[in-house]
Amino acid sequence: APEPKRVLITGAAGQIGYALAPLVARGAALGPDQPVILHLLDIEPAKQALEGVRMELVDSAYPLLAGVVATTDVNEAFNGIDVAILVGGFPRKAGMERKDVMSKNVSIYKAQAAALEKHGSKNAKILVVANPANTNALILKENAPSIPAENITAMTRLDHNRALGQLSERTGTHVGKVRNAIIWGNHSSTQYPDVNHATVDGKPAREVVKDDAYLDGEFITTVQQRGAAIIKARGLSSALSAASSACDHIRDWVLGTPEGTFVSMGVLSDGSYGAPKDVIFSFPVTTKDGKWSIVQGLDIDERSAQLLKTTGDELVEEKALAQECLAD
Ligand code: NDP
């Protein structure tokens, strides 16, 4: 068997962490032949719950799980990691101003950047899940200058998978035959779920769905507001689907996207498709040999361009707010 890879999960005692650790231990992120050592980080108040997660991982006797490091020490957590899935963050509580949530989270991500810079391998692949995911990832990138920017990404794969799921339900087609939806921009309600390049069973999604009013209206709002709908139904935010999508993101990044398929990832913008530069923006990407590249040459109609601009403007504004928070 290959040498084990070290996979860090932060916020590991939280609800996404609880769904994510077993998936990674079963090979959902790095494949069925790759042993893993899980590094689980959480904060001091969650120490006991974290120990409970560690105990359950031991009790699950996973064949691929070569070890568990459960810790509240950021430096120990980042030491020697190959992959990091950063889920830990300060939750938005009722009555909190947006700037307060931003301020809490960007300071967490600035501190984690220092640990990453000091202890992480330059090749480590980083996925930020905690909200505001794109801006947290940007702060991480800006404060860990020795880590190549291409190694720092934000998760929009759950939104992407939600789009595929809606098209699957609407057309009665298995989700495995629905491909190439795109989530553009921010992992927030301004994201633009775009079906103009999506296919259902190899045919353009618009031709199969035959209802442009739905695709330009209800489809978009359903995907954008799915998180809230899950909270309403479950009384808790999505965790299983968030964990599953995080594994999809890492798996495709490491093992490559299938020929003819692209996926959505929040990556450092180079200005493609008129997106603002130097923010973490979700684009359609393909991956090969552990590297992503933004799909080029897709036609963008005027309506889409407008929606891309809205979500891009929000990211520029979030970036300014984050910088203001760090300067305070
Ligand atoms: P969850 O595990 O439910 O969520 C963790 C983070 O993922 C939140 O920022 C959440 O954002 C975000 N997220 C991104 N996408 C989604 C999605 N689609 N659905 C749901 N959440 C999403 O939170 P818990 O409170 O259960 O766990 C958080 C853990 O983080 C706790 O164990 C806590 O101790 C730890 N923590 C760590 C800190 C640190 O590292 N310094 C600071 C504070 C907490 P949103 O809030 O917008 O739902």
Residue 197: active-site member: no
Residues making up the binding site for substrate: 92, 98, 131, 162
pLDDT in tens, 227-279: 999 999 999 999 999 999 999 999 999 999 999 999 999 999 999 999 999 99
Q: How far is the CA of 89 from the centre of ligand 1 (A)?
A: 5
* Top mutation candidate among 78, 86, 131 for ligand 1, by most atoms within 8 Å of CB: 131
Residues near ligand 1 (Cβ within 6 A): 10-11, 13-17, 42-43, 46, 87-92, 108, 129-131, 133, 158, 227, 237-239, 242
Per-residue pLDDT, 241:
98
Residue whose CA lies nearest to ligand 1 atom number 23: 14
Cα dist from 73 to 68, 79, 111, whole Å: 14, 10, 12
3-class SS string, 216-258: HCHHHHHHHCHHHHHHHHHCCCCCHHHHHHHHHHHHHHHHCCC
Say how many C-beta atoms besides its own lie within 10 A of residue 88's C-beta: 25
> What pLDDT was estimated at residue 233?
96
Out of 10, 41, 129, 280, mutate this one to test ligand 1's pocket (max ligand atoms within 8 Å of CB): namely 129
Whose CA is closest to atom 12 on ligand 1?
130
> Are the CB atoms for 316 and 208 separated by under 8 Å?
no
For the annotated binding site for NAD(+), the residues are 11-17, 42, 105, 129-131
Binding-site annotation: residue ranges? 11-17, 42, 92, 98, 105, 129-131, 162
Q: Would the pTM count as exceeding 0.90?
A: yes
Instruction: Kindly report the protein residue whose alpha carbon is nearest to atom 18 of ligand 1.
Output: 242
Distance CA 218, CA 195 (A): 13
Q: Choose, from 39, 160, 187, 197, the residue flagged as catalytic.
A: 187
Cβ atoms < 10 Å from Cβ of 184: 25
pLDDT at site 93: 81
Distance 284 CA to ligand 1 centre (A): 25
The segments of the chain whose pLDDT lies below 70 read none
Query: Which letter, b or e, does each residue of 289-316 get, where b requires 16 or more Cβ atoms within 10 Å of its Cβ?
Result: eeebebbeebebeeebeebbeebbebbe
Rounded to the nearest whole angstrom, what is the distance from the C-alpha of residue 133 to the centroid of ligand 1?
10
